[in-house]
Amino acid sequence: MMYFIFAFLLIFSIILTGKSSNLVNYENNLIVNHNNILENGNIKHSDGIRNQDKGKNTKSEWWKNGIIYQIYPRSFKDTTGNGLGDLRGVIEKIPYLKYLGIDTVWLNPIHPSAGIDSGYDIIDYRNIDELFGSMDDYDELIEQLHNNGIKILLDFVPNHTSDQHEWFVKSVQNIEPYSDYYVWVDAKYVNGTRQVPNNWISIMKNSMWEWNEQRQQYYLHQFYKEQPDLNYKNPLVQKEIKDVMRFWLDKGVDGFRIDAFGCLYERQDLKDAPSIPKIPEKQQRIGYTKCLDESYDEIKSWRVVLDEYKKINSETKIMTVEIYGDMDLLKKCFGNTTHPGAHFVLNFCLGGLAHHPAKSFVHNLNESLFKSTPGAWPSWVIGNHDIGHPTTTFGEEMIDGIHMVQLLLPGTPVVYMGDELGMTNTYLRNDQSPNDINNIFLRERGRTPFQWDSTAQAGFSNKTITWLPVNPNYVTRNVEYEKSATKSHLKIFKALVNLRKLEVFCTGNVEFYEVSKYVFAFSRSNSILRSYFVILNLGSEIEIINLRKIKRLLPYKMKVRISSLNAEQYTGEIIRTDSFTLRPNAALVLESSFF
């Protein structure tokens, strides 16, 4: 019966067009999804991302199909005239979020903070920093977002607090029950000289230990000394953190992005970490102060809290975790079938492939998609508040193509605000970077104000001097300009967001191709009637492309659905797949359709 239907469709297409090439095209599309094989050295998976992730289950989970948009509140929109973004600024710009078509907002920390680490040194987990507004402003924000069909994730910082937090102040004074809320250790003495307990080095390149004169002990800090680490060996600390999660869940938050979860536990024997030349310090910390098994167990216990709320109203509350490391470390975050962990992990592999050859793209994306824990859901991060804007990393000519990869692969894209415009990092002098001491990480170069229009301060604020300088390229790199342009990064981004809503990008198969040394491609398909092919020139030279050489059953002609800003092809153009040119860093989304 099935073959009869196929034959009827074939004859019908020939009658309609009178061209025998349609028979070839239809046959090509008919066979393209068959067999799970390795074809011509290209990764091919015809089961889609995972069998259990296809169909109804995938469509029902909002966090799988949607796009997460990261907002750094300090730099999004200032409504008070103090040069600093605020919650009412986010409320004001909800129409823009709707225009973009994003589904979820992730807010960087908005809690009261001492300002040492841009909000990641929290003084009070259950309140709003007055710099951003009030709890009433937060309540209105969450109500307005939900009324517009947008979820909200809060940045959650469970590893450490500010040294001004009430818990730490009382811990210094040895006031119960806070005495052991932090990691306190006695000093070592050598020939009567006080020394730190061991050789552990913080992320800030100094000792992890800070002496407290009042308590006469050292406390542990894996980040700044003003950010003491909580002691997760203390059950009371575990309970406190879960209670904080429940506080915000009760206020309607849809989930959390967990900061620095891998730092929660450290070796109890305080053994010195090895000093290995040419091995990054962060790798040397693994098994000593990073990624201990107990940290993963803590994620599982937090998942239990989230699932409690799902049982109440059948709405999934999610948790995504930040971790930098190899695939084995990422896998453990997902837990197992009986004790699930994170819903997904923030995957930075794509952001690390700038200027790499196509082979690296094929290998790394295949690792992320098909060699992770069964049932694990992928995500794609190419920029954020720490690593900056990907346009700076990849270059303006390539950013559209990288967005094609990020938005059209299976998984959840996490987009940093301004990346849709092609915003770039801004040069800052040391005196212009108040929260990035001595520009150690150059992080604040990617945190400058959002560029709304070409007026003074890019429409971000009416104050002459903002908390960070606006990038000088704001005159043409802004929302207003790009919305009115015939073609722009913003319009290409929006077109990709709309395209991604098609069923094929939710449940379709994916194949990766090394077209040439510097040309990477992948395809998405889930039926014999329509498929998509994304191709990106990663190199610095014009490439003559013959896609049928690497995929014999591809149609002879395909339509350009979306083209990058620097591509010579235009949207709607029909091209021959066996002979076309692709400019350096240019990218195309090609569409094949039987009808």
The residues carrying an active-site annotation are 259, 322
Backbone angles phi, psi at 23, to 5 degrees: -65, -40
Strands 412-416, 379-381: pairing is parallel
The H or E element spanning position 479 is: helix 479-484
Alpha-carbon gap, residue 565 to 398, rounded angstroms: 9
Alpha-carbon gap, residue 565 to 276, rounded angstroms: 45
Helices (H), 107-178: 135-147, 166-172
**Residue 267, class by beta-carbon neighbours within 10 Å (0-12 exposed, 13-18 middle, 19+ buried)?**
middle
3-state secondary structure of 306: helix
**Residue 357, class by beta-carbon neighbours within 10 Å (0-12 exposed, 13-18 middle, 19+ buried)?**
middle
Which tokens go with 34? 């068959």
Alpha-carbon gap, residue 300 to 133, rounded angstroms: 33
Which tokens go with 39? 């074809």
Which tokens go with 360? 């690296």
Sheet containing 574-576, strands listed edge to edge, beginning at the edge strand earlier in sequence: 44-45, 509-516, 519-525, 530-537, 587-593, 557-563, 574-576
Please check whether residue 116 is in contact with residue 226, taking contact to mean a CB–CB distance below 8 angstroms: yes
Which tokens go with 158? 């469970």
Cβ neighbours of residue 188 under 8 Å, at least 6 residues apart?
194, 195, 196, 197
**Residue 573, class by beta-carbon neighbours within 10 Å (0-12 exposed, 13-18 middle, 19+ buried)?**
middle
* Tokens 């002459």 -> residue: 464
The H or E element spanning position 122 is: none
Strands 509-516, 519-525: pairing is antiparallel
Burial 130-149 (b: 16+ CB within 10 A, else e): ebbbeeebbeebbeebeeee
Looking at the chain, how many residues does it have? 595
Which tokens go with 446? 């990617």
